[in-house]
Amino acid sequence: MTSVAAQADLLKELIVGVREGDRLSAERLVREHDPWVRSVIFGVTGRVDLVDDIAQQVWTQVWERLNTLEDPSRLRSWLYSVARNAAIDMSMARRRQQRVGELVEEPPDDRRGDHSSPVGRVLRDELHATLFRAVEALPAIYREPFVLRHLEGWTYAEISEVLGMPLESVETRLVRARRLLRESLQDKL
């Protein structure tokens, strides 16, 4: 059996386990996929402070809708669309709330005040805070592949599969992301 076929079987087994309510399978599913789901959420929203809330929503939706996943080998693409839609919905909702002034929202940079967390400790470093702000400011179409590449270490093929775009587009977006970042950092470093 090829490794691809073996992986597909393992994935199928995992999904069946989750559908049948096996707690260990559910834990494994979250453990293996939660990190990159979070990267997608950050890639779409550019807001690290929204990631926890949206990730929670995503996993709730996954439990509710897992029966609609027909082909377990498409899990990653399916999870990506759930995460992406949840991230877009939440971003739009937040924007509406901000517009009508119903919510005084903390700017993302306020997370740097959290000195007790690893986030706070490292973001106090001037260089990393500047770099992170530059990534936040990237347009989402460039930020998404950039984050999946730099945070998850995914190959172009993996990014292309999940984002549902040609390999060349992934490559071009990464080139442009790097160029935009260099330009935005030119006077800051």
* Residues forming the site for other proteins (CB under 8 A): 35, 38-39, 42, 48, 51, 111, 117-119, 121-129, 131-132, 135, 147, 149-151, 155-156, 171-172, 174-176, 178-182, 185
Nearer to other proteins, 18 or 181 (CB): 181
Cα(23)–Cα(168) distance, integer angstroms:
40
Residues 6 or more apart whose CB falls under 8 angstroms from that of 76 comprise 33, 161, 162
Nearer to other proteins, 95 or 128 (CB): 128
Q: Which residue stretches of 46-109 are H helix?
A: 51-65, 75-99
Closest distance of CB 96 from other proteins, Å: 26
Closest distance of CB 20 from other proteins, Å: 31
Nearer to other proteins, 14 or 90 (CB): 90
Residue of 80, 57, 55, 58 whose CA lies nearest to 144: 80
Closest distance of CB 157 from other proteins, Å: 9
Nearer to other proteins, 39 or 72 (CB): 39
Nearer to other proteins, 98 or 155 (CB): 155
Closest distance of CB 146 from other proteins, Å: 8
94 and 105 in contact (C-beta within 8 Å)? yes
Cα(102)–Cα(35) distance, integer angstroms:
32
Closest distance of CB 137 from other proteins, Å: 13
Q: CA-CA distances (angstroms) from residue 161 to 20, 22, 80, 97, 157? A: 28, 28, 10, 34, 6
Residue of 3, 1, 11, 153 whose CA lies nearest to 77: 11
Nearer to other proteins, 30 or 119 (CB): 119
Closest distance of CB 55 from other proteins, Å: 11
